[in-house]
Amino acid sequence: MIPNMEPFTRSVDLLSGAIAADAVVEDRRVADLHGYYLDDSGAEPDRIIYRVYAVPVPEANSELQCSTTVIEPGRIGREYHMTKGHFHAHRDRSEVYLGLAGEGLLILATEDGRHRVEPIRPGSLSYVPGGWAHRSVNLGDEPLAFFAVYVGDAGHDYATVAEHGFPVRVIVGDDGAPLVKQHPGHRR
Ligand code: S6P
Ligand code: ZN
């Protein structure tokens, strides 16, 4: 069956990551990520950590969701600003990230405890296979922006990550440089 979609074009600002016109904009603030960071007690609850611009597309297996994410620079305690991270609710659905601006990392993890760390930078193309949870982290002094395209009905499973976390955390080391550190509490 051919889906009932009309062709369309949208503009993405490659420097800021913003998508114009009818994108659905969602902000994630410190308060929305309570429990994800080791210690957020010193951070103002209203501070925006990241913003997602999503082009409205039906959540169907035949479609492709398109969005940008812009993570503000900064840290909460020793941890760099990061997204919540999620598995896709339909575990086998994959995704592609294209870096637009800034410098950061994409942390990937499987449910049996494997993990990978990939760079995000302008022009980086990262493939997120089905079954890999994914979280992005801003390491720089500027906003980190990337474009994502993923299978329309992928959905988001946040609960598994909220409960178990990722096998590694990205913190600032004593020398001021980023450090990818094992998260001892993580299940194997
Ligand atoms: C969706 C895709 C991204 C994230 C966004 C925010 O599958 O991976 O658009 O939703 O980067 O991250 P999170 O973990 O809060 O959804
Ligand atoms: Zn995803």
Distance between CA atoms of residues 167 and 163, nearest Å: 12
How high is the pLDDT of residue 184? 72
Give this prediction's pTM.
0.96
Residue 113 CA to ligand 2 centre (angstroms): 18
Residue-wise pLDDT for 118-155, tens only, equals 999 999 999 999 999 999 999 999 999 999 999 999 99
Asked whether the beta carbons of 149 and 68 are under 8 A apart, the reply is no
Residue-wise pLDDT for 20-36, tens only, equals 888 999 999 999 999 99
Q: Does residue 138's CB lie within 6 angstroms of at least one atom of ligand 1?
A: no
Q: Does residue 156's CB lie within 6 angstroms of at least one atom of ligand 1?
A: yes
Measured torsion, CA atoms of residues 63, 19, 34, 32, in degrees rounded to the nearest 10? -90
Mutation test residue for ligand 1: of 27, 32, 67, 108, the one with most atoms within 8 Å of CB? 67
Burial (CB count <10 Å: 0-12, 13-18, 19+), residue 153: middle
pLDDT at residue 188 is higher than 70: no
Measured torsion, CA atoms of residues 175, 36, 89, 65, in degrees rounded to the nearest 10? -60
Mutation test residue for ligand 1: of 156, 157, 158, 166, the one with most atoms within 8 Å of CB? 156
Distance between CA atoms of residues 83 and 137, nearest Å: 7
Q: DSSP characters for 16-44?
A: T--B-TT-EEEEEEGGGGTTTSS--TTS-
3-state secondary structure of 161: helix
